[in-house]
Copies of this chain bind each other. A is one copy, B any other.
Amino acid sequence: MKSARNTTAKTEIQELIASSSVALSHSEIQKSLEGLCDRVTIYRVLERLLEEGFIHKIVNVDGVVKYAGCHSCSAKHSHNHIHFSCQKCKSVTCLDDVEPSFKLPKNYKVSEMNFTLSGLCPQCS
């Protein structure tokens, strides 16, 4: 049986994401950690945090992958909320309360969703 271990890198990254109001990219995390660990380690830690359900992954409209903590989905772990990407301050935030509705044609089976809007956030508009 393989059991997870608490390492410095994992703890730091987890805290960084948890305390951030915006979603963070791999490179942003790397800058924040200031050489605490290797680039590869960050990828592997993020992978583990995803598996363990502490964070979720967001693909921005420009293709950049960002990571955000799981707030609203502690129990059920569903991510059908909208993300907002600000074109001015470049921040990506989870709008946890905004869940879009739509009517899908028959025979489509949905297992994952990625909704991202871009424009100006309240701070920038």
- A interface list, Cβ under 8 A from B: 59-63, 65, 82, 84, 87, 95, 97-122, 125
Which chain B residues lie closer than 8 Å to A97 at the CB level? Answer: 105
Is the Cβ of A108 less than 8 Å from the Cβ of B119?
Answer: yes
Which chain B residues lie closer than 8 Å to A61 at the CB level? Answer: 59, 112, 114
Is the Cβ of A107 less than 8 Å from the Cβ of B125?
Answer: yes
Q: A59-B62, A62-B59 are in contact. Are A101 and B100 (CB under 8 A)?
A: yes
Which chain B residues lie closer than 8 Å to A120 at the CB level? Answer: 108-109, 111
Q: A65-B63, A112-B117 are in contact. Are A102 and B105 (CB under 8 A)?
A: no
Assembled-state Cα–Cα distance A77/B118 (Å):
17
